[in-house]
Chains A and B, each alone.
Chain A
Amino acid sequence: MFDGIQRRVVSLWFPRLASDRALRVWPLAGPFVLTRKEQNANRIYCLNPPASAQGLEVGMAYTDARAFCPDLQSRGADPEGDQRFLLALRRWATRYCPWVGLEGRDGLVLDITGSAHLFGGEAMMLEDLQRRLARAGLSVRIGLADTRGAAWALARHGQQGRNGHCSIAEAGQMLAALAPLPVAALRIEPQVALGLERLGLRYIRDLAGAARGPLTRRFGPGLLRRLDQALGQQPEQISPHTDPPHYGVRMTLPEPIGLLADVMAGTDRLLRQLCSKLKTQEMGARVLCLTLRRVDQDQQQVELRLARPLRDAGRILPLFERGLGEMDAGFGIDQLRLEATVVEPLPVEQLSHVSDGGQDRLDDLISRLGTRIGLDNILRFLPADSHIPDRSFVLAPAAYSQPAGGWARHQPRPLVLFRPEAIAGTGPRPPQRFRWRRMSLTTGRASGPERIAPEWWLEDENWRSGLRDYWRVETREGRRLWLFYTPQNPGWFVQGEFA
C-alpha cells in the first residue's frame, strides 16, 4: 500500500477479559459473573460462557441474574486491574512484532507487517497466538486484514472460521471480506448505525455502493472516513505504547564477595550504569534501594534517601558507606541489585562560574544526616503569614523545601522562645520583682505593651486565655525577657528572652 509494502494488521479482542482474569486466579466451574456498582445497583460487568448460556447478559441487574440462575457465583469487578492486565498482555504481544497498540478497553492491535514469516506465515502465527492465549485461559477473537479498521471489524463481527476464532481477510481483498458484515463493524456510533439501518443500508456492501454525497450530508464526514480507513483508502496509524523506563541494574558475581571495599566497588559499577540511564532520561534518583543477595539466599537491603534528586555516581557512592558497613555478609554476597525506587525529573543545568553558596555540599550533608536521624528531623525555617509569634514561622523538612526569604519584622522579637512560664504578678503593669526559673529578678525598665489578639479563626489551646499584652522587660540582673499579661484572664507569663 505505502511504498509497495503490504501492511498486515492483527486485531485481538478479548470479549471476556475481566472474567477470564478473575477465573485465572481462582478457577470455578459453572456460571460466574463479575459485578460492579452502577447507579446504586449491582450490575453484571463481565460473565463467563456458562453464564451467557443461562441467558444472562452484561448490564443486567445482579438481583435479576440471581433469580434466573440460583447457582450463580460472583465477585466484584476491578477495571483498573483489568487495564493493568491488558498492558501486561500488550507487553507480551511484542514477542510477535514490535508494533503493538491498545484498542479500547479490551483489545490489542498488532502491526505484523514483515514479521509473519518469522513464525512460518500468517496462519501459523495466528495459531500460535491462539494456542498460547488459550493456555493462559483467555478467550480471544482475532481479525487479520490490511487495515486497522478491517481487522477490528473482522475480530468483532467476522464469521469466525473453522478453527475457532480467527477470521482472515486476504491481502488486497478488503471490500470482499467486509462486504457481508453489518455496518456496526465500522466503529461508528450506535445512533449512526441505527440511522443507516433505517435507510436500508444494513451491510457494508450496501454502504460502499451508496452515493457518498448524501451520506456525508446526513451523517457527517466521520462515517465515510471510517469506511475509507477500513478499506485502506485513508491511512490510519497504530500508536505503539512504550514501556516506562525501568531504573534498576543488577550484577551477578561468579564468586561471592564479603569485604566492604569489594561491595563498594560493585556498587560503584552499578551506580555508574544507573546514573547513565538516569541521565539519558533526565531524571534524578530520590530513593535508592540496594539489595544484596547472599550465598545462603538471604537478602539484605540498604535504602538510601537523598535530600534532592541526584544522578552523580561520585556523590551518591559515599552515602552508601554507612548502610553497607552495617550489613552482615554471611558466607558472601553473590548478587547486587540497585534500583532507584523514587525518581524525580532533574533537567540538565547550565554550569556557571557563579557559586551557589555550597548548596550542593549542604544537600549532601542533609542526605547523610538524614540516613542517621531521618530526613524529617532536619528542618528549615520558612516564614508564615501570621501575627502570632509562635505561628509566624513554620519548620519544614529541609530535604523537601527551598529556603525562602521575606522575614519582615515590625516589632522586636526575642531570640529564644519557649512555652509560656507562669510568674507571680498582678495588675496590668509588669511586676517590680518576680521569680523566674529559680532566679530572683527585679524589673529595671519595661517597654510595652504590645497587644496581640488571638486568631479567632483558628482553634488554639495556648490562646484560650484571650488577649495578650506583651512587655519587654529589662531586669536589673541583665536578662531581657519577653513577658505577657492576659487581661481577660489575669496572669503573668514569660515567653522568651531577647539577645
Chain B
Amino acid sequence: MLALAYAARVGGNVMWVQEGWQGQQIHPHGVSDFLDPARLTLSLTQGPLETLAVAEEALRSGAVSLVVLTPSKPIGLTEGRRLQLAARDGAATGLALIADGAGSNATETRWRATPIFDAEGGRGDSTLQRWDLIKNKSGTLGVWHVRWDTASRRLSVVSPAGK
C-alpha cells in the first residue's frame, strides 16, 4: 500500500520487479483503487541478481518514476549504492519491499508500515496503517497514522486510534 500510495502521488509509469517464482502477485483490480493498472509494468526475473540489474536499468532510464522491487535477499551496501546512483541519474525513486530487519545501510529512508485494527469501524475500504519512518539520512524520524481514501485517491492522515 505504501508503494502504491506513493506511485499514485508521483504519477508516471511504475515498474514492478519481482522474481518469477514468487507466488504472491499484485491484483490489478485491487491496484485500480490507487492508480490505473495500465501504468504498471511487471518484470519477472530469474533470481536476485537479475532483479537488481533490472531495477538499476529501469531506474537509470528515466522512463519510469517508481521502481518497486521485492528482493528475496537483503540488498548489500554496494548494490544499494549502485541503485541509488542509478536513481539519481534517472530522477526516479526506487522502493524495496523487504522483510523486517533486512534493510540496507545504503538506503536513504526506511519505513515500517504496520496495519492497525480500526476499532471505530471506519469505512472499511482501506486499512488503517501506522507508518514509522525508522531511518532518514536527511531529516528526522516520525510516525503517522494514515488511511487511503479511495474516493478522492489521496492519503489522509488520521489521529492515532484509541489514544
Contact = CB atoms under 8 A, between A and B. Distances in A.
Nearest to B25: A417
Interface stretch (B29-37, B77-85, B101-109, B134-142): B29-37
Nearest to A405: B38
B115 A479 contact: yes
Interface string A391-420: 011010010000111010100111111110
Given A398-B41, A415-B31, A416-B27, A361 B62 contact: yes
A379 B44 contact: yes
A389 interface: yes
A354 B17 CA distance: 30
Interface stretch (A7-15, A168-176, A259-267, A470-478): A470-478
A121 to B, nearest CB: 67
A393 B25 CA distance: 12
A276 B117 CA distance: 63
Contacts, number: 147
Interface string B8-33: 00001101000010011111111111
A372 B54 contact: yes
A369 B129 CA distance: 35
A475 B27 CA distance: 21
A386 to B, nearest CB: 11
B72 interface: no
B89 interface: no
Given A379-B41, A499-B30, A364 B4 contact: no
A376 B35 CA distance: 24
**What's the interface size class on A, roughly?**
35 or more
Contacts of B34: 499
A1 interface: no
Nearest to B34: A499
B29 A475 contact: no
A415 B27 contact: yes
Given A365-B63, A447-B124, A499-B148, A414 B41 contact: no
B26 A362 contact: no
A96 interface: no
Interface string A363-397: 01110110011000111110100000100110100
A398 B43 CA distance: 10
A383 B50 CA distance: 28
| Of listed A361, A418, A474, A475, residue having the most chain B CB within 10 A | A474
Given A403-B38, A499-B148, A393 B29 contact: yes
Name the prevailing secondary structure of the A interface residues.
mixed
B37 A381 contact: yes
Contacts of B26: 415-417
A478 B44 contact: no
A37 interface: no
B157 interface: no
B41 A389 contact: no
B8 to A, nearest CB: 11
Contact of B117 (A372, A404, A447, A476): A476
A477 B129 CA distance: 11
B20 A377 contact: yes
Interface in B117-161: 117-119, 121, 124-129, 148
A418 B114 contact: no
B161 to A, nearest CB: 11
A403 B40 CA distance: 9
Contacts of B114: 478
A85 interface: no
A474 B118 contact: yes
Contact of A379 (B42, B63, B126): B42
A358 interface: yes
A393 B127 CA distance: 24
A394 to B, nearest CB: 10
A389 B38 contact: no
5 contacts: A377-B43, A407-B37, A415-B31, A445-B124, A478-B129
Given A395-B42, A409-B33, A478-B128, 5 more contacts: A357-B12, A362-B64, A365-B58, A366-B41, A378-B44
Interface of B: 1, 4, 12-13, 15, 20, 23-34, 36-46, 50, 53-54, 57-58, 61-64, 114-119, 121, 124-129, 148
